[in-house]
Structure 1
Amino acid sequence: MIIDHPILGPRDSAEFVYKGDAMLIRRPDWQADTAVADFTEYGYLRDNPAGEHRELWFHEQGDRSWLVVTRDTTTHDITKVELARDVARQEGRSK
């Protein structure tokens, strides 16, 4: 599988490490009244979708960047690759 890194261009997926669902960018508020339940869900509950899914990938054997990869889990077709920092900033502004 080839991941088209936004800065470095096409790279083999062997250079990356899959780190899970991209929803991990949205860390719960530790001071909220529901913090225990929120962190339990954040840490342990995951969807296992068939189809399009946003995932976190770490470029371990490269520039050590974090990426959000939108990928079809049934075909492995990648439709979008973004720097995780840009996604986090964008989601932070939309709150």
Structure 2
Amino acid sequence: MLMLTCPACGVTAEETEFAPGGEAHLTRQGPGSGEAAFEGYLFARKNPKGVHFERWRHAYGCGKWFHAARCTATLEVFGTYPMGSAPPPDLIARLQARRPDREGRA
């Protein structure tokens, strides 16, 4: 079970209190975009084995959206941060310090 911390209200809880929202940091395509760009936005998603940035909503709490960095192979959550911001430098440093074999690779 994933344990996530909502950066808006500070509550740490199991993933059942939150709602997943898919891949984070996507570039939204508006009405002026071409069909290929809009199709890519709707359907093309990464499916990495390893660290992945996702959107989550504190559904049974404050209702705020936030981002989380987690490993899809080990389900380890490295950190969360507010929507509209880039991953914090300390989170990036932790991710870069990880050993490659912890992501399921040799």
Q: TM-score, normalised by structure 1?
A: 0.78
Alignment match, 1:9: 11
Alignment match, 2:38: 39
Q: Percent identity?
A: 27
Alignment match, 1:67: 66
Measured on the aligned residues, the alpha-carbon RMSD in Å equals 1.5
How far has the Cα of 1:23 moved from its partner? 3.2
- Normalized per residue, which structure has more helix? 1
- Normalized per residue, which structure has more strand? 1
How far has the Cα of 1:47 moved from its partner? 1.4
Give structure 1 stretches of 5+ with no counterpart. 88-95
Q: Deviations over 1:59-94 (max 9, x none)?
A: 11111111111100001111120111334xxxxxxx
How far has the Cα of 1:49 moved from its partner? 0.6
Runs of 4+ in 1 over 4 A off after TM superposition: none
CA distance in 1, matches of 2:5, 2:32: 38
Give structure 2 stretches of 5+ with no counterpart. 87-106
Aligned ranges 1:56-95 → 2 under 5 Å: 56-87=55-86
